[in-house]
Structure 1
Amino acid sequence: MEGSDGWQFRQLLLLIDEKLGSEDVAALKFLCTDLITFRKLESVQSAMDIFQLLIDKDYLNEEDTFLLAELLYRIKYHSLLSTLGYTKEKVQERLHEKGKVSPYRQMLYELSENITNEMLQEIVFLLRNHLPKRRRTASALELLILLEKQGLLTENNVQTLEEVFTSVSPDLLATVNCYRMAKVSLPQQENTLPIKESSPSNNADIRVFNSPQETSIRFVSPSIHGHCVEEPVSSWELTGRVNSIPGSQDNMAPNLTQVFSKMNLQLSGGFSGAENEPKVSSYKMDGPQRGICLVINNVKFDGDLPERKGSYKDAWELDRVFTWLGLEVRTYTDQTSDQIKELMQTWQRSEDHKGRDCFVCCILSHGESGAVYGKDGKLVSIRTIMAHFTAKQCPQLTEKPKLFFVQACQGKDIQRPVYVEADARVPDFSSIQQSISPSESIPEEADFLLGMATIDGYVSFRHVQEGTWYIQALCSKLQLLVPRGEDILSILTEVNEDVSRRVDRYGTRKQMPQPAYTLRRKLIFPIPRGPPPSRQY
């Protein structure tokens, strides 16, 4: 940053402030809780207020903007890092030496990102005797702050979280357990490089994984409900220097290399080479028109297939989100198998693709392995649907990304809870010749992406009022991460994380989405000018 009067520095902060919404400001306030007092943070109204507080504490200045870069990295607003002269990878490389957000605060923020509204209601109910009766908790962040104010949650005491997540979410319980075990084995103070030699509690297994960006440490916790849960501690950047640390050895604990050497673990790799890797180019997404988005929403069926209650909510959300992203959305309801094929043929021959950047097709229906049901109860192969848009069949879409999102079961039904239904019936196995995986459904050509609500052979879940787990997570993550410059595969990874952490009200039914693709470049939707649909009302 140039200019002794700090004018350019202030202009830069104002630019970042203008890009951040109210949810982003709330996240920044939470992550700064250990750096700035509660009293001062409570008066914050904008990101600029936070920046000023950090400047006053000398955490942020013209010469050193890393803390701001770290905060933007933590809330996944990677597109703003370039304004500070950073990239996602450069921030990752320096976190081990300059990061100021504590592992405790990182863990709490990760939890808040994965606590659904349903989970939040259950947690508040379980803690009703410990929370102020007149205090309304609107978000997971507010709840965690309230627990800290009540003295029920501290850096050294996460027992309350362990108790509630035992009932509400075993996955989030594993996250808390990993933090607790890591705290036993890793330094207590922030950013301390030496490590005390200590064995993880509860017979946890400690493993080391290396990548070009960082060396990550994972703790494999003991069985939870009969399963071994592996969680990356690197989510909280609990990483240390690989090289030895100079200085006096008196009163100094061994460094990471020494610790893992004594535990008969090999630590290799490092940070070299990351900057020399070739960057993947992006698809052209700056045309006069973004593209067509088809939404096929099958709700009512002939025969014994049940009505897909709640699917209208999915179709409505898809319409709002893809319209916001600049696509022209066309919705078709209750289509037979022949009508689905005819629609594909119509849009395959359409001249409307000319001059557009991409094509999106969303199919909401019942399904079986590698296929979806038409309203008439007949199956249509997913591969057949997608094959209409290969370069040979649809030259207008040659070298353009073609995205297909399929909300349908890919296996047989299971017993359903009261408010959650499975998007399938018990299949007639005589009608299925073989099991088809998502990757086998994609045409053998480039530029396709298939996002499946669930892996082959399993059911997917739908709330009879709120819609499906997968489509709601997809719409939510698109609204959150497109403004942050994330590419579609990174967004779908976040969708996987979101859905995989959801659980029905009985805590026994889970779902895992699965993307497959032949994309050759990164697909990054341009940031819309208007606010996301969720913030328009």
Structure 2
Amino acid sequence: MNWEVLSAAPRVVAGKGDGVCRNSCRRETIGSSNMDDVSLKFHQQLLFIDESLVAEDVAALKFLCTDFLPFRKLERVKSAVDIFELLMAKGYLNEKDTFLLAELLYTIKCHSLLKKLGYTKEKVQECLHEKGRVSPYRQMLYELSENITNDMLKDIIFLLKNCLPKRQITLSALELLILLEKQSLLTENNVQILEEICMRVSPNLLERVNCYKRAKVSLPQQENTQPIEEISLSHTGDIKVSPVSEETSIKSVGSNIKDNKEACLTQGFSEIKLELPGGLSNAENESEKVKSYKMDGPHRGFCLVINNVKFNQSLSERRGSFKDAEELERVFTWLGLDVRIYTDLTSQKIKELMQTWQQLQDHKDRDCFICCILSHGESGAVYGKDEELVSIRTIMSYFTARQCPQLAEKPKLFFIQACQGKEIQCGVPVKTDARIPDSSSMQQSFSPSESIPEEADFLLGMATIDGYVSFRHIQQGAWYIQALCSKLQLLVPRGEDILSILTEVNEDVARRVDRLGTKKQMPLPAYTLTRKLIFPIPRDPPPSQQYGGF
């Protein structure tokens, strides 16, 4: 194939809308070449990958390739094909060795394109340790950029105003990092400027930088004899750069960290596994094995609140439930979620609603999904307005990775305020959320142990354990929802993860009793989360301070 002809063809920035023009130009070139079948197939695969990538993907590839390709050449790149040409010219990519491209696609999470190169996500993970070329430093920077929101970026640019060009330019997070590297303010052996920025803008991002630093110092070290610059924040918030002596310079290692057998890259940088000499584990590194879900994107996610108050026949009105719905809306809005409230849905409407939200494409740009259901209930199920049961497992199954791929590997939280048994609560104003025992028809029973899907990234918070009632004050709302909202407001600003918060909720509800001092309740969380779930600390005060508390 004549790649020079291809390179000279008219081209626009990569995007899905320009595929037809680019496709027709390039396939004429392919058809006129005399390459063998293997080479033809290889270049067709590259064209397919190029046409599947959008502008943001190409920018990410350019950034990840700065370890292999000169800045000046990458600056002229307009499409993925340009990058492929440069990689092939340097011997990094050919028909027999496509792993670097597979690694790049894996890193930017274009997993569906790996099959074009004969790889799967799992296969790339297996080979990263021995064949990976993207440095941990570059991966750390890219991962950091993926978690920098637009608001964070504005703050960072403001802090760095003395280090950036005087003329006003619009920068992406990746472009900003490249600019810092060009000015030698950011290097593989000196990431102090990132630490200063993260501490001021988003402490949650600091852990990614610290993880990279721990990975470096755990490997064989060599002294960096070159003086470095110390970076600090002035009282005005600007970042100052000043030289320090060689005696205080940081320690570093050679750039080829991957060759050290102690570093095992199985799932990109976030899965580095470190061991001390002699096979002894470091307690700090052990604690780092449980990573956190990405929760600082531009959009947190959606929160559905299904509030069933009035029912058709024998089930009593759930007085006080509007108080719960209002508090949930306030708290989860404060946490950055887009809250939607639905009132008095039948069992069929609940299923249809789940199906509608299952198909929402906007989940792709969100960090998580939350669903709260307030209703009467039985073992492992909740009632619709029509007094028909819907199993909790059925509700949650709409959002598995297979059924809702936009939420794959993202946390999905379900909070159920409903009884799970039929015991009578006879005190007033405390009511139970259970059906009265003399109901004319026996309802199907579901096991709570079977409620949560056997897939990762789910959390199910039940107001009560199986077989027991949950309690709701007719003015103040349900014990469980009150405690959940209260603890979220108290502990999210302290950086607590969701499981620690739910443990506090358990303790709170367990201490509560009805006015006669005889009725108790014990919530039940169940989960298949694979990472810690920590909500970013909101900038606004908690709703309890804004609206006068509970």
Higher relative contact order (CA 8 A, sep 6+): 1
Given the two structures, how large is their TM-score scaled by the length of structure 1? Answer: 0.50
Given the two structures, how large is their TM-score scaled by the length of structure 2? Answer: 0.49
Greater gyration radius: 2
